[in-house]
Amino acid sequence: MGFSFDIVKKDETSLARLGRISTPHGEIQTPVFMPVGTQGTVKALTPEEVSDHIRADVILCNTYHLYLRPGHEVIQRLGGLHRFMHWQKPILTDSGGFQIYSLSALRKITDDGVAFQSHLDGSTHFLTPALAIEIQQALGADIMMCLDECIPYPSSFQETAQATERTTLWAARCREKTTGTEQALFGIVQGGMHTELREKSAGDLQHIGFDGYALGGLSVGESTQMMHAMVDHTVPLLPEHTPRYLMGVGAPADLVECAGRGIDMFDCVLPTRNARNGMLFTRRGKVVIKNACYREDARPVDDQCQCYTCRNYSRAYLRHLYMAKEILSYRLNTVHNLFYYSTLMEDIRTAIREGVYEDFRRCFYQEQEAEEEA
C-alpha cells in the first residue's frame, strides 16, 4: 500500500476537515497530533505504550539526530527505523533543517547545502538536499520532509526572500531524489511573516508537486495572533486534496484554532517536555505539580481523564516523585500529557464528524476560563 489522502468530511461551521492518510505502515486519522520521538524514542515511554495506551497513529523522528547517532546506515542495516525501535505504525521524519537552524553559531548555509559542526563531538558535516532524502530513505520513513532553510523572527524581507528561494531550490532537488519510491514527500512553505513570500513559496512548491504541504517557519518567536494570521493566509493557497501540516506548533489552544483553520497534522515537543518539567495539561487548564498546594491533594490530575496516571495516582504522589527527581515522574507525567493530547484530537475529530466544531471550540475555552475564575 502506498501513500494516499482522503477527505472524509468537512465541517460546516469552520474550515476543519476529517481525513484519512494511508501509508505502507497503516492509516492515520486526521486531524492528528504526532508525538515527537526525536532519537527513535518518545522520551520516557516504550513504543508499545505510545501505540496502545496513548493511541498514537504516527510519530515523528528526527533526521539530524539519527544521522549523527547511531547513523542512518546502521539503522538501515538493522532493518530500518520501524524494526530498530519496534514501532509498527507510520513514521514521519523531519529533514533536520530546524535543528541546523538552531545551530546558528556552528553552521554555514549555501545553495548547495549546509556545512555544520556536530553538537555531539564537533565533527564537520555537509548536509545537501539529496543527502537529507537519502538519510530518510535509509530510515524507511513513511513520510519524508524536504530540506528547508528556517529563519528566525524577526528577519528582514531580503533575508526571508533569499531563504524562501533557497527552500524552493532545495525542494526541487529533494523531489528529484524520490522518483518512483513509495515514501511520501512533503514540501515546506516558507516566507516568514510576509504574505507575498508565502504565496510565492506555495505556488512554486505546487509547480514541483508534492504529496503534502507543510507550513514551516512558524512558532519561532512571533505572536500567536501573527502565527494564526499566516495560517489563515496560507491554507487557502494549498491544494484541497493533500494533507496540510503545521510544523512545530502544539499548544492545546493552537491545535483547536488551527484544526478549525484547515490544518490536518501537528507536532510539538510541548507535551513531553512540559511533562518532564512538571507541567500537566487538563481540560480545565494547566497543573504545575511542584506547587505546594498539591502536597496532600488526593485527587487525580484530572478527574475526567482515563489515562493510566489519573486512574492510579494522586497529585500528591506525582508531586512527591517530581520533587524527589524520580525517573517515574517523567514516565507518569508524559503518559498523562500525551493521553490528554490524544483525547483532545479525538474530540476534535468527533466535533468535525458531527458538524459542531464551533460549538466544540467555544466549550473548550469555557472549561478553561471557568477553572481560571475558580
Catalytic residues: 94, 267
- Beta pairing class for 113-117 and 107-110: antiparallel
How many H helices and E strands in the chain? 15, 16
Q: Which has the closest alpha carbon to 234: 259, 203, 256, 260?
A: 203
Distance separating alpha carbons of residues 28 and 6, to the nearest angstrom:
11
**Sign of the dihedral defined by the CA atoms of residues 201, 204, 208, 211, in that order:** positive
Closest to 110 in 3D by CA, of 123, 128, 93? 128
Q: Where are the alpha helices (DSSP H) in the chain?
A: 47-48, 63-68, 72-77, 81-85, 97-102, 129-139, 157-176, 195-208, 224-234, 252-259, 270-276, 308-312, 315-323, 327-354, 357-373
3-state secondary structure of 220: coil
Interior/surface letters 223-240, b for 16+ CB within 10 angstroms, e for the rest: eeeebbebbebbbebbee
- In angstroms, the CA 296 to CA 281 distance is 20
Sign of the alpha-carbon torsion through 254, 256, 261, 267: positive
Tell me the C-alpha distance between 44 and 327, whole Å: 8
- The backbone region for 339, taken as left when phi is positive above 0, alpha when psi lies in -120 to 50, beta otherwise, is alpha
* C-alpha span between 232 and 196 (Å, rounded): 13
